Structure formats: structure tokens, C-alpha cells
Amino acid sequence: MTLGHKGLSRYRRLLSEPGMARCGVAALASKLQGSMFTLSLLLTVASGRSYAVAGAVAAVSALGGIAAPARGRLLDRLPYASVLWSVLALHAALVTLIVVNEAAHGPLLLTFAGALAANTVAPPVGVLTRVMWRSVTTEETRATALALDAVLADAGFIVGPLLVGVLSAVLVPQVALGTCVLVSALATVLLLRALAGREPAKSAGKQQSWMGSLTSVPLRLHLGCALFFSAVVGVVEVSLISYGGELLGSVSVSVLAAGSIVGGLVIGALPPVRAAQVSQLPRLLSYLGLAATALAVAGTSHPVVVIALTLAVGMAFGPCFVAMYGMTGDLAPIGTAAETQAWVGAALQGGAALGQAAGAFAFGLWGFGAGVGLAPVFALMAAGLGVLTDRLRRPVTAQ
């Protein structure tokens, strides 16, 4: 399946619409924030202490991601500008605290606390990007926009670490950490401009259940689907990294990312009706399970075979992310758009951690085939929850 001239024209048509190029830059900036912060924090702390200590600081900082749904709920109840500028100011102050404390070789506990707090109040620009695409597009262009967003996410996790490495090598790691704040500020400005007058309906805090968007049963099932799908991603990535040495492992992971980009681009290039047919989540997850099974069976066969099957697995990742975020927007109860996207983001992070831990454990005990062999199991569980979500969702949609 190739993009072709007609497929590429859908992307040109999307980006040629007024304000869409700005939305694309905002989306890319939000992806860079997520890919740059942890690495730049790691290098900043390691430059004055040790990589072991820096790794512990980065791990503690990652716990701040638990606050993502709370930040999303604030966005759903208050004007976006007031929330984004407030958390950005706090985030910038805490990043400054970390830089100053490390430069002065201050208390390590202060660095730990600052790193955790800085990630807890990190501007939720990634969540708001997905809300933005749903607000500024129509049914005709939404699949293309979500596909572009998935591709930009892959690109961000390539460009972001590279940018951190260059800034740290040419200047100092602290500059890379400061650049993260500037990237967040850029994304904030562009997102607020794109959503001016288009913010979704706000929720009434006193009238809403304390569970927020989680009152929706289909959404809770969808979160489980997202968690198990992300576990597939984690299993495959950690198994490939450990496969065949550093060089072949790195090439395999790069091929996986390339497949994800191509798969996402293909979905966005299709007409809306065709894209909706192809990107049904249970169908995509079933294909992913079959491709992962083939990769596990291939095991330690010829590297060319493994690379080809890795590409086939990666081809499902991008479309799955497109379908996942599209379904998330459909399931969000009124007034909970940002919180719902934040919950799905948290489920994806948790699933990645689960998959990486399980994959590494299985690989260490039984080898590559067993490690990747967990992927079809997780994919089957995700597909089952996807089917249940569809069945519970359809009567509500029809009503």
C-alpha cells in the first residue's frame, strides 16, 4: 500500500487550510517537550553527579505523569489560557531551581523534589494537541490530522533526543533543559491561538461525579485496550533492543519506528470512509497480533527476515495510535475532552512500562521468541476489549 499522489494531496489540502500549518508546528512542539525533558534532566544531573544518581532522579520525575488526568480536569473546567500559563510558570520556576541547585552542588533531595514537582506541573500540551485536532478539523480531514499527529509523535522522539544531544555537546546540558521550557512555551502560544473561540464545552464541577470521565463504562474498557496495546509496543521494543547486539538491535528499533510512520501516513492518505474501515481498532490489533506471532516464530532466523517482520509489526503501530485517539475523542463525555485524553495517555504510559518489564523478564529467561511471544497475548487482550467497547458504544451512539 503506497501513498500516491492522491494520498499526499490529502495532507497538502489539510495543511493549506487557514491555521493548519500553525497547528502542525504546535503538535510537533508538544511532541518535542515529551521527548526532551527526561533526557535533558538526566544529562543535567549527571554532569555534576553520576549517571546512577541522574537515572534515579529521572525515574522519580516520571512519577509526576500520574497527575496528567488532574491537569486535564483543570483544562475541562477552566479557560485553557489560565491553566496553561499558570502551570508553565510553575514548571519554568522548578526547572530553574533544578539548574541552580545542580550548579551550586546543592542538596540532592532538593533536586529530587524539584524534578518530581516539575513533571507534575508540566504543561499538558500533548493532551491539548489531541483536543485541538478534534476541534479544528471536520469528519473529512480528521483522520488525516490524527495520522499526521501520530507521525509527528514518531518524528518528535527522533528529533528531540538528537536536539538534546547537540545542545548538550556544543553548549551544556542545562541549555537543553531550558530549551524544553521554551518549546513548551511555543506550543502553548500556538495551541491557544489555534483553539481561540473553539474550546470544547466546560464541565460543571459541582454537578459532575468525582470519577469525572471514568463514569463511562466504554471509556474504562477503552483504557484497558490502550494499556494492553501499549504493552505490545513495550514488549517488541525491549526485545528488539536486546536482539543481535547493539547494532542490529538499534537498526531493528529504527525499522520499527519507520514502519509506524509509514503506517500512520497511509491511514491519513485514505478517503474518510476507507480510513474508517481500515482503522477499526480490533481489526488493527488482530493484524498486530498475527505480525508479532510471525516475528516471535522467526526468532533467531536470518536478520533480513527479522527486519522484514519488524517492519510489518511497525506498520500497525501508527494506525493503532490513530484509531486509539480517534476513539478516545468519540468516547469522551461532554465537558471532559482533555481529562479523557489524559487518562488514555496515562494508560499508554503504564502499558509501555508493563510491556518493557514483562518483555525484558521473558527475554532474559527464555530468549527472543519468548519475549516477543508476549506481544500477541497482549494484542489479543486489547482486541477483545476493543470489541466490547464497540458493542457498548453503538447503542449510545445510535440513541
Residues 159 and 51 in one domain: yes
Residues 51 and 167 in one domain: yes
Integer Cα distance of 350 and 347 in angstroms = 5
Is 13 inside a domain boundary? Answer: no
Is 307 inside a domain boundary? Answer: yes
Is 340 inside a domain boundary? Answer: yes
Residue 210: the pLDDT is 66
CATH classification of the domain holding 29: 1.20.1250.20
Residue 382: the pLDDT is 97
Among the candidates 199, 220, 244, a domain finishes at 199
Is 8 inside a domain boundary? Answer: no
Is 27 inside a domain boundary? Answer: yes
Is 9 inside a domain boundary? Answer: no
Report residue 37 as a C-alpha cell: 525533558
Distances (CA, A) of 156 to 102, 151, 159, 163: 27, 9, 5, 10
Residue 158: the pLDDT is 84
Closest CA to 235 of 282, 189, 289: 289
Residues 187 and 216 in one domain: no
Among the candidates 142, 165, 199, a domain finishes at 199
Is 191 inside a domain boundary? Answer: yes
Q: Which domain holds residue 178?
A: 19-199
Residues 224 and 90 in one domain: no
Residue 249: the pLDDT is 75
Residues 116 and 248 in one domain: no
Q: Judge whether 359 and 371 are in contact, CB under 8 Å.
A: yes
Q: Judge whether 291 and 313 are in contact, CB under 8 Å.
A: yes
Is 89 inside a domain boundary? Answer: yes
Residue 399: the pLDDT is 35
Closest CA to 44 of 33, 34, 35, 55: 55
pLDDT averages per 10-residue partition of the chain, 399 residues: 61 84 88 87 89 88 88 90 95 96 93 94 90 85 87 86 89 92 93 84 61 86 96 92 73 89 89 83 95 89 88 94 90 88 91 90 88 95 94 56
Residues 182 and 37 in one domain: yes
Q: Judge whether 41 and 57 are in contact, CB under 8 Å.
A: yes
Q: Give the chain's domain count.
A: 2
Integer Cα distance of 272 and 143 in angstroms = 7
Residue 119: the pLDDT is 92
